[in-house]
Amino acid sequence: MRSIWSGAISFGMVVIPVKLYAATEQRDVAFRQVHREDGGRIQFRRFCTLDGQEVPYSDVAKGYELATGDVVVLTDEDLAELPLATAHRIDVLHFAPSGQLDPIMAAKSYYLEPEPAGTRAYVLFRDALERSERVAVAKVAIRQREALAALRVREGVLVLETLLWPDEIRTPDFGFLDEDVDIRAQELKMAASLIDTMTEDFDPSAYHDAYREALEAVVQAKIEGNEVVRPAGVPAPADRGNGPADLTETLRASVAAAKANRAKGDGSRPADGSGRKGAGRTSGSRKTASAKPGSASKAGSASKTGSASKTGTRRKASA
């Protein structure tokens, strides 16, 4: 794992240097948008909805749109001046019984690893927290956004769970909550009996993503049936014989090819400067969807809050 943040846990007079790692990952099958006819990748570019000109990323700013249609433009300098007292610190505010944290508040989980100089203090804090059967309520700033957080122990490691702010949780407002629904005692007893019958220990390993497995099987079947398209400019892989391809080996080869293309440097990148993942492919193998200036909102790329003041994302079609 690669750490995404480094800082320290501030606990009273104690400071524990730590590194932060993402504790979870998405395992969905990744797809690219491609041209149905030849497999060329679809490329997205940023265009201004007013003058129709392509806008480089360096000229994109954040814009807050008012009800009047006016836009407040925020620059990097504006954001840099915002106070972030916890920029490189997990500031423990107090401790609370773990049962008081509503699971709906949980946002994302991270593992904390101690720096060598802080291992002893880390273990001391971890053991004391675990024995207390409490969680530490803290504040932390990750990627320029401060969040409420909770520290707990899992499998000998401190876990930081970022939490939603109270005003980010919606209040359920449903009509049936005000209705006087009559439930008979016998019905309640039978429902409780059914719950007891179906109760067993929770074993996460007993569950799997059936949809993802079925999707991977579809992809594997097309690979074995040689139902693949090689876009123009993509070199053929080394001959591995006549046996069916294995999805894992194919993905591993794809990763190696992507790394090789990236290592070629700027000379192999397209002229438009889009150095995104997989950009090492020649521009002749790409397709772009067309859109007129001002149509970015139809593509779902514009938003009222946090979007660029004049920019919209649209797709451009090569002839």
Task: Please report the pLDDT score of residue 226 as a whole number.
Answer: 83
Show the CA angle centred on residue 199, arms to residues 195 and 204, nearest 5°. Answer: 130
Sequence length of the chain is 319
**Between 77 and 123, whose confidence is greater?**
123
Burial state string for 255-277 with b = 16 or more CB within 10 A and e = fewer than 16: eebeeebeeeeeeebbeeeeeee
Task: Please report the pLDDT score of residue 278 as a whole number.
Answer: 41
If one counts every other C-beta atom within 10 angstroms of the C-beta of residue 308, the result is: 23
**Between 11 and 135, whose confidence is greater?**
135
Task: Please report the pLDDT score of residue 44 as a whole number.
Answer: 87
- What does DSSP say about strands 14-22 and 106-114: parallel, antiparallel, or unpaired? antiparallel
Q: Taking the chain, what is the end-to-end CA distance rounded to the nearest angstrom?
A: 43
Binned at pLDDT 50, 70 and 90, residue 287 comes out as very low
Q: What is the pLDDT of residues 162-180, one digit of tens each?
A: 999 999 999 999 999 999 9
Which residues neighbour 315 within 8 Å (Cβ) at sequence distance 6 or greater? 42, 43, 44, 45, 288, 289, 290, 291, 299
Binned at pLDDT 50, 70 and 90, residue 79 comes out as confident
Task: Please report the pLDDT score of residue 101 as a whole number.
Answer: 93
Determine which helix (DSSP H) or strand (DSSP E) holds 140, and give its type and residue range. Answer: strand 134-142
CA distances from 310 to 52, 271, 273, 279, 295 (A): 10, 24, 21, 26, 12
- What does DSSP say about strands 286-287 and 41-42: parallel, antiparallel, or unpaired? parallel
Q: What is the pLDDT of residues 231-264, one digit of tens each?
A: 887 787 766 555 555 666 666 666 666 666 666 5
Would you state the structure tokens that stand for residue 253, as one six-digit string?
């080869």
Q: Inform me whether the pLDDT recorded for 221 exceeds 60.
A: yes
Task: Please report the pLDDT score of residue 247 as a whole number.
Answer: 62
